[in-house]
Amino acid sequence: MPRSPLLSLRRPLLLLVCVLLIGGLAWHLLRAPLLPGYRLESRELVQRVVASGTVDSQSLARVGSEITAVVAERHVREGDAVRAGDLLLSLRDEEQQARLREAQATLQQLIESSRPQAQAALREATSNLQQARRERERREALFQRQLLSTEQRDLARRVEVSAQSAYERARLAALSLAEDGQEERQLRQRLESARVALARTRILAQVDGVVQSRSVEPGDLVQPGSTLLEIARLDSREIRLPLDEKNLAAVQLEQPAQVVADAYPNAALAAQVSFIAPAVDPSRGTIDVHLQLLENADFLRQGMTVSVNIETARRPRALVIPRDALFQRQGNRALALRLNEDRVEAIEVRLGLEGGALVEVLEGLADGDLVLAEQAEPGSRARLRPQPLPGAAQ
């Protein structure tokens, strides 16, 4: 029985389909695997240290009392802005007021009574001395002429000596009570001391700033040595960072920085490194770093949390490689898996600055090289699935 033409064509078609299927499978199996990676390029690179810190005051004035007294009135509270000379606290001053009035009255008595009396007494003593001297001279003359006895002459001499003593006492008293004399100076010193003691009952701000804390209320007994209020100077705000010691080598004085308060994320403030502590805190593994703010920021508050970005280095043009394309890293050395045609080769690279997700390549690779971001056996075949490089540093 003759074969059907349709049957005679079926076998070659089936054979062709099988060949194509086997060939496609073999091509798929032999094709190099597709791995993620990057094409290297040069771009600006900024190395930064990022940390969290707090707003602090470089100068915190602690206000106390110089005397023991009871608080009569409190004039400020936390958060109040004050200027030097503003009244902060009033203490009870009855005793000091009484001492001041007593000192004023004593000085007034000296000027209006004691001094005029002393001057009058001096004038009287002067007159008495002059009279006694004339009488003694008269009797001396009579005695020389043998018209007067020795006893009467000696009596005149004794009267003159007594008048001389009274005159000296009156002169010294008048001199002591004279204007700007010893007595007046002492009374004026006593008056000034009373005024100073009274002034101490009015506790004034010594600096411009903001009241940070208070620990006193009307009726409290205060004593010297106790802190009643704390005032942070307005011109002394700074940022304090407990910086991880691993970042110490990169941070130097006067490096620029940006500060952003967590409460005001849209307000970036310019700052610079102003202090690096000489020692590391061994319990935390941190070092104390201070930043000086370069612009006014009235919205900052003591103890506020901030994020800090310190620029430690900058390259206008650097060949960069993403961190995830580096393997077996040790210090500034690492391996990169470069594609040469479709073959993987391990290249040792030397690294420089680190800026976020990018690292500077100093040796080993060139602009345009293709590197893998996934482990592969050197010498094996691979194809690149390009990934965009992380964004350029700002």
For residue 390, the 8-state DSSP code is P
Domain endpoint, select from 268, 287, 313: 313
Tell whether 75 and 209 lie within a shared domain. yes
pLDDT tens for the 394 residues of the chain, in order: 455 554 455 555 555 555 455 444 444 435 689 999 999 999 999 999 999 999 887 667 889 998 899 999 999 998 888 898 999 999 998 988 899 899 899 889 888 888 899 899 999 999 999 999 999 999 899 989 888 888 998 998 999 999 999 999 989 988 888 888 888 888 899 999 989 888 989 999 988 888 888 889 999 999 998 899 988 877 667 889 999 998 888 899 999 999 999 889 998 999 999 999 999 999 999 999 999 888 887 788 878 899 999 999 999 999 999 999 999 999 899 999 999 988 999 999 999 998 888 999 999 999 999 999 999 999 999 999 999 998 744 3
Select from 291, 313, 335 the last residue of a domain: 313
Which pLDDT tens digit goes with each residue over 199-219?
Answer: 989 999 988 888 888 889 999
Q: How far does Cα 127 stand from its chain's mean position?
A: 74
In this structure, are 216 and 350 located in the same domain? no
- Structural domain tally of the chain? 4
Residue 9 lies in a domain: no
Residues 288 and 164 in one domain: no
The C-alpha atoms of residue 173 and residue 121 are separated, in whole angstroms, by: 9
Kindly state whether residues 300 and 370 are assigned to the same domain: no
Asked if residue 189 and residue 218 are part of one domain, the reply reads no
Residue 250 lies in a domain: yes
Largest Cα separation within the chain, whole Å, is 209
* 81 and 114 fall within a common domain: no
Quote the CA–CA distance of 248 and 289 in Å, as a whole number. Answer: 9
Tens of pLDDT along 136-185? Answer: 999 899 989 888 888 998 998 999 999 999 999 989 988 888 888 888 88
Q: Does residue 330 share a domain with residue 304?
A: no
Q: Which residues pair with 262 in a beta bridge?
A: none
Same domain? 105 vs 157: yes
Element (H, E) at 166: helix 150-177
- The residue from 289, 313, 337 where one domain ends is 313
- DSSP for 302-321, written as a single string: TT-EEEEEEEEEEEEEEEEE
Question: Domain for residue 99, yes or no?
Answer: yes
- The backbone torsions φ and ψ at residue 119, rounded to the nearest 5 degrees and listed phi first, read -65, -40
Residue where the block lists tokens 């707090």: 54
Q: Do 253 and 328 belong to one domain? A: no
Q: What is the CATH number of the domain that holds 295?
A: 2.40.30.170
Pairing of strands 370-372, 34-39: antiparallel
Domain range for 118 is 94-199
